[in-house]
Amino acid sequence: MSFKGKIALAAWGLAGVFLTADFFMGTYPASGNGQYPITTVSAPEENVAPKEEKYIALTFDDGPHKVYTPKLLEGLRKRGVHATFFLIGQNIDGNEDIIRQMKEDGHLIGNHSQNHMQLTKEQTKEACDQINRTNEMIERITGETPVYVRPPFGSWSEELEGMVPMRVVLWNVDPLDWKTQNKNRIVRHIVRHVEDGSIILLHDVYDTSVEAALEVIDTLSAEGYNFVTVDELLID
C-alpha cells in the first residue's frame, strides 16, 4: 500500500469514512477533479425515550359570572387551552352570550344544579328537577344537552345514580379558592399537588381564582402538562 493509501486509512479510522477495497487496491476510478469519491457513514441515532405526556383538567364551578367568566375565557383563548364549566341554572339568565362563547371556544359545559343545593338532602324528585331544569336551560342555548354533572359539595347517591342518566365528575385537587381568595396560595397548592390525570376544582366567580388559573396554566405548561376537558381525561 502506498503512503497516500496509509494516510487515507488513518483518516478513515478517525473520521468514520468508509472506503471500498477497490480504493486500496488502486482500481477505484478518480472523479473529474482528480479526487477519489468517498462515502460517509453517519453514526446511528441513540434511542431516546419519548417524553411522557401528562394530562390534567381545569374545571370551574358556580358560573357563569358576568365579569370574571369572560375574563377567564379570554385568557384561555390566548393560551389555546380548553376547560370544563359546571354551570348553575340560576346564574344562566342574562349570561347566555357567555355560554355561547364557551361553546364556540371549544370548552365542555356541564351541570352544577339549579340552585347549588346539596342534592342528597333533597327529595329525589326535587334533586332530579334541579338537574333537569339546568340541562334544559343549557340545551336551549347551546343546542346540546350536558352529559356531565358535578353535584354541589360532591354529594351524590346510588338512588340519584339510577335516576339521572349523566356522568358524575368530582375532583382530586382542591385549593379551596372560594375560601382563601388568595391567588398565590391557590397557585401554590395546585402546583404542589397536581399530577398526571388530576382534575382541578376552581370557581370562575372570583377574580383571584381566574388570575390563579391563568398563572397555573403558564406554570404547568412549561412543565409539560397538557390541559384537556374532563371528557378527554375520562375516556375509557
User: Which of 91, 110, 102, 122 is closest to 149 using CA atoms?
Assistant: 110
Contacts of 109 (CB under 8 A, 6+ apart): 84, 85, 87, 99, 102, 103, 138, 142, 144, 146
Q: Is the dihedral of CA 177, 180, 186, 188 positive or negative?
A: negative
**Coil, strand, or helix at residue 173?**
strand
Among residues 22, 61, 107, 177, the one annotated as catalytic is 61
Whether 116 is catalytic is: no
Q: How many CB atoms lie within 10 A of CB 125?
A: 9
C-alpha cell at 111: 351541570
Question: Which residue out of 62, 203, 231, 236 is catalytically annotated?
Answer: 203
Residue 138: half-sphere exposure toward Cβ, Cα within 13 Å: 29
The answer to whether the beta carbons of residues 5 and 24 sit under 8 Å apart is yes
Pairing mode, strands 54-61 and 167-168 = unpaired
* 96 vs 84: CA distance, rounded Å: 17
- Verify whether residue 203 is a known catalytic residue: yes
Q: Which residues are catalytic?
A: 61, 203
